[in-house]
Each structure stands twice: as C-alpha cells, then as structure tokens.
Chain A
Amino acid sequence: MSDKAKTFAPSRRQFLAGAAAGATAAAASAAQAAGPDPLITEVQDWASGLGDGVDATPYGLPIQFEQDVVRRNVEWLTADTISSINFTPIHALDGTITPQGCAFERHHSGAIELTKQDYRLMINGLVDTPLVFSYADLERFPRENRVYFCECAANSGMEWAGAQLNGAQFTHGMIHNMEYSGVSLRTLLEEAGLAAAGDFKDKWVYVEGADASSNGRSIPLEKALDDVLVAFKANGEALRKEHGYPVRLVVPGWEGNMWIKWLRRIEVMDGPVESREETSKYTDTLENGVARKWTWEMDAKSVVTSPSPQAPITHGSGPLVITGLAWSGRGSRTGVDVSIDGGKSWSEARLGAPGVDKALTRFYLDINWDGSEMLLQSRARDSSGYVQPSKSELREVRGLNSIYHNNAIQTWWVKADGEAENVEVS
C-alpha cells in the first residue's frame, strides 16, 4: 500500500456512506452494485473494430469530450471583443504547462496575422548601430529555453470590490505558462552595441508591437539585460497567431501587458516614454486618488482550481484531491498552504514538482472529505518571505480601485452537495 493510501485511510464502509449522501454519487456506486460491469463483460466496439488512421489528423485537437475545456470571454467586461480578454480554463487543467490552444488572449487591436517573411525587428535609439533583423536572422542567434508564467495585470481585477465571477477560469484565468525558446534580449542589444548608452543605470528600452495598438511599454535597461527573452517558440512550436506570431517579448515575473506581441521595435532611451499603457492603463489607483505607476512585478499568488465553481465534487465523500496553482513574479520558489475552514487552520500542500522561478507551480492536498461544507483557500509563499495576503489586507493598503495586481487569497465555498461558489469571508 502506498503512503498516499495510508493518508486517506478510507474504509469500504466510509466510501459507501459518503456516496449515499449525493444523488450523482449514489448513481455512480449503483452501477457498481448492480453486478458485473457490461463495459468489462461485453466486448466494446473499440475493442473489436478499428480506430482512425494516422493520416486522419495531421494536427490534432482535443477529443470531443473535452470540448468544454476552452477559452471563454465575459461580454460585459469590455466595449468590444477586439480590445478585450479571454480566459484560460485553469479549472480543468493539471500540471503547469498551458496548452497553447486554450491559453488566454489579450489584444488591444485584435490578433494580427504577420508572416515570417514580412516580419522585421528594429533596434534603434542609444545604440552604436541601429539594426533591422529578419525572422531568419533571429533564428541564427544563440538560443535559450525557459518556462515562465504570463499573467495579465488585470487578472482577478473584477474581484477587487467583491466576489463577482463564479469560476477559477474567470477569476484567475488571465494566465498561461509556457516553455519559451528564443534569444535573450541582451544578445540582440549587444549586437547593436551599447557603448552609446553610457551608464546603463538610468537607461530604458521602449518596446512596441507591429499591431495598430502598438502596446508600447518602457522597461528599465537593467531588466532588459537580465532575463528578458525575444521568443519565437512556445511549448515546442511556433507562437500562436494570437500570442504574437512570429515573435514576442517574454518578461519573466512582470505583468503580462509588457510581454509585447508581434514585437517590431526596441529603442534604447534616456527615460521612460510614459506611454498610454503605463499612464492611463497599468497604473494602480489608491484610495486617496494617487496612483502607483511601474508596478511591474506580479506578487506571489495562488488559487485552488479543483474543486471550484466550474469543477464541483461529483464523487461524494471520501478521497478528494484538492489541487491548484501557485506562482510568484519575485522569482522565488513557491510553497503553498491550503485551508478547508476559511483560514482558521492551514496545512502545507505538496508541490507536484519543485517550484520553478517565475513559473506556475502545481500543488496538491489529498484529503478524506467527510461531506461537510468547506471554505477552501490557498496561500502562496515565496522564498523572499512574502506571504500571499487576504483581500482585506490588500484593501487596507490599496482601497478598492486599483484594478490591477489583485493577488489576494481566493475562497471557494464547497457545499455538502459538492457544488462550489466564489465567496468572500470575514
């Protein structure tokens, strides 16, 4: 018997008693109680006939039974669907790598189609030689592979004022986590030569995309030379159109808005441009009306993805896997605590794999659910000593109008019937 099974210590009697509590669970165990299972005792079609040939699907999509594992948008959030957001179905995923096909999108003037042939990347400003690269040029530079999360600054933003959207996909799904292949931005800047930049300390780069919105942002040169990537592959294949094909910026740990897609220009400058996306937007208004600017790092955060409102418990009481995601933009490996009583007491969760810097970490807490109500919470810690705060703790500092950077602890109210709801607790 494995350690896991010992932890559960479930008895046959507990299993049946728990199952009788819920109608769906009762139906499930009835199938077992009725005698030999025809799915086993009768030869099924798939065990006799033939499946699809290898030429049926040159590039496959998920099986039809998983068709609910898709991006979703919330119509009332934005004026149109072009400058808008959709959400990753994190409630249905496991592990840490986000499938590109359902990884969230955020555009300001739509997902543009830009071929590799038409692609150009310019580096200008305070460099020794302003350069233009073709896509083919970029593939000839020494390459790196790194896994990072990209979280929209507005992830959970609708929840500042209270519990609004009923599902982890909607409250926490402006995030994806991919393995990127590309060239370090440092390599490209050094190719153009940085002697002209003088002292790096007070210098910036301005980065913009090829789309109509341009999405220009200013980044301190120190960060640009540290770990920023100019990426052209994600999860092994070319970037998806909607994620910046053929080239995007990867800015580890920092708010998703700075991950410029369809990257076309990098300018080394004396100061920040103070563009629209770092003045009107992506500034965080405090209670006294003053706003923070340049809130780049995404602080430590976590969420239980199952059970959750879109992933109710359908199996009755007994062994239950509580699982979720944790991450920190401050770079450090993440530990996670889970509470089932609304934060009265906490247990340290098990990480699915060792935490990776500035990347999603999967956590699990395996419990024996007695069928009673739970108030589920998770609390991320990073090795800088930061502990994910409660919503009220965040509001005490920031008020209700920050829009961005809501990394507060999320609560799911799991009811006796296994349904879960987004709630706030005292």
Chain B
Amino acid sequence: YAGTCGLGGTALPEEIAAWDSDVSPDGTGLPAGSGDVLVGEEVFAEKCAACHGDFAEGVDNWPKLAGGHGTLDHDDPLKTVGSYWPYLSTTWDYVNRSMPFGAAQTLEPDEVYAIVAYILYSNDLVDDDFVLSNETFSEVTLPNADGFIVDDRLQSEKHFWTSEPCMQDCKESVEITMRARVLDVTPQEESAAAVPVV
C-alpha cells in the first residue's frame, strides 16, 4: 500500500490539551501554577498520607516517597524521590496523572505543585517556606540526577557473547549453595497436579 489511507480525524486543540499532559525533564508541559510546603502538607495529609504516611515515609508495603539517602550502593537500597529519582518533572507528571491511587486525575495543578513541594520538604531538599511553581521548578535539582547511565550491556557484558560455550568437562564439582525450600515462601498449590496418570 502506498501513501496514506485518509483515515482518522484531525485532533482538536482541546482534545490534545486534555490528554497530552506529560512533563519533560526541562519542565516542558508544566501548566502555570504554584503551591508551597505548608499547603502541600495539608493536601498530602488529606489525600496521600493514608498510604504514604504523614511524612511520606510509607505505610506498610505502600511506597516510601522520602528517605533512603545514600543507600543506593547498600544491600537493600531504599529508592525514593529524594534518594533515587533523577528529575522533578517525573514527580509532578506522575502525581498529576496517576495519583491518588484509585482517584487519579482529580488534583488541580496548584494542588500538585503543593504536594510536590511537600515531597521535596520531606526529603530535606527545600525549607518549609519553599514555593514550587512553573517558574521556580528549574531551581530544583534532585540529588540523584546524575545517577543513571544509558544501557551499556553491549560493552560491560561483552563477554557473554562467547559464541563457543563449554560443552564438556566445564567444571570439576557442583555443590548446591541455596535452596528455595529453606525459605518456604511459595504459595501452596492444590494437590491435583501431583496425581500420577497411569
């Protein structure tokens, strides 16, 4: 088939505005608005704290949004907005589009600014009088902004492209070093599967 099919209608500006809300790292896509830490604390307490905790520290298994600074090279790193996320744009974008969980897209832009300001405060990244707006947005650089590298498997794992793998006498001995049964965390199944078929 050559050329276009002439299918579909032109997307109207209102339609694009309704659906295209993504925000890029440089702030492109942010609407005008602002919110400060104190308002953020109130909004967060009302709409977020039930799962994420009063101080964004997380309740039960729900995600922790604050803390974990300096743990990324530890055995069990705590990855939060403050310790791990590279860009503030992502926090704004994700909260705006997908939070609160179960009632997404119910926040006004100013509420999102305020919530994000409070998350920054909870991570000790701004003072309690900080006002986040589309204009102050670029003043904030998250601690782990330089913590990411583009997939380097083709270089760092080059040795896995070993076209001639060992087929015989590859090692002298084999020992079992770890067993899943010791942990015993697998859901138990109905026993139907174990009935032998003659």
Which residues of A line the B interface, CB within 8 A? 24-25, 27-28, 31-32, 65, 67-68, 72-76, 78-79, 82-83, 92, 108-109, 122-125, 129-134, 137, 140-142, 162-167, 170, 187, 190-193, 206, 208, 212-214, 216, 264-265, 267, 269, 271, 273-276, 279-280, 283, 285, 287-297, 299, 309-312, 314-315, 337, 341-346, 375, 379, 381, 384-389, 393, 397, 400-401, 413, 421-426
Contact = CB atoms under 8 A, between A and B. Distances in A.
B90 A28 contact: no
B21 to A, nearest CB: 9
Contacts of B76: 401
Given A83-B101, A293-B150, A423 B198 contact: no
Nearest to A140: B7
A216 B19 CA distance: 12
B25 A296 contact: no
B176 A290 contact: no
B96 to A, nearest CB: 10
B162 A387 contact: yes
A19 B52 CA distance: 58
Interface in B142-183: 147-153, 156-157, 160-163, 165-181, 183
B19 to A, nearest CB: 5
A269 B180 CA distance: 46
Given A28-B196, A130-B11, A289-B73, A397 B174 contact: no
B90 A279 contact: yes
A96 to B, nearest CB: 22
B189 interface: yes
Nearest to B93: A275
Given A130-B16, A296-B151, A271 B174 contact: no
Contacts of A132: 8-11, 15
Nearest to A32: B198
A164 B149 contact: no
Given A285-B77, A426-B175, 9 more contacts: A123-B8, A134-B8, A273-B23, A273-B93, A290-B147, A291-B147, A310-B189, A346-B170, A401-B76
A279 B177 contact: no
Interface stretch (B38-46, B81-89, B117-125, B131-139): B81-89
B9 to A, nearest CB: 5
A418 to B, nearest CB: 10
Contacts of A345: 167-170
Contacts of A375: 174, 176
A16 to B, nearest CB: 15
- Among A131, A276, A312, max chain B CB count under 10 A is at A276
A294 B89 CA distance: 18
Contacts of B172: 344
Contact of B167 (A190, A280, A337): A337
Nearest to B184: A166
B151 A141 contact: no
B192 interface: yes
Contacts of A293: 148-151
Interface residues of B, number: 83
A79 B15 contact: no
B60 interface: yes
A212 B98 contact: yes
Contacts of B89: 274
B32 interface: no
A314 B194 contact: yes
A31 B196 CA distance: 12
B16 A122 contact: yes
B160 A389 contact: yes
A375 B171 CA distance: 13
A343 B167 CA distance: 9
Interface string B88-113: 01100110011001101100000000
A274 B24 CA distance: 7
B105 A165 contact: no
Contacts of B20: 122, 124-125, 265, 267
A108 to B, nearest CB: 8
Contacts of B104: 109, 212-213
B86 A290 contact: no
B129 interface: no
B161 A385 contact: yes
A402 to B, nearest CB: 11
A290 B148 contact: yes
24 contacts: A82-B101, A109-B102, A163-B178, A163-B179, A170-B187, A191-B7, A208-B22, A214-B98, A265-B19, A267-B20, A274-B89, A279-B148, A280-B85, A291-B84, A314-B196, A314-B197, A337-B165, A344-B170, A344-B174, A345-B168, A346-B166, A401-B75, A422-B179, A422-B180
Contact of A167 (B1, B167, B174, B186): B186
Nearest to A193: B4
B177 A425 contact: yes
B120 to A, nearest CB: 15
- Among A72, A273, A386, A397, max chain B CB count under 10 A is at A273
A165 B186 contact: yes
Given A265-B20, A279-B87, A162 B150 contact: no
A393 B176 contact: no
Contacts of B61: 78-79
A92 B194 CA distance: 12
A345 B11 CA distance: 61
Nearest to B190: A68
Contacts of A299: 153, 160
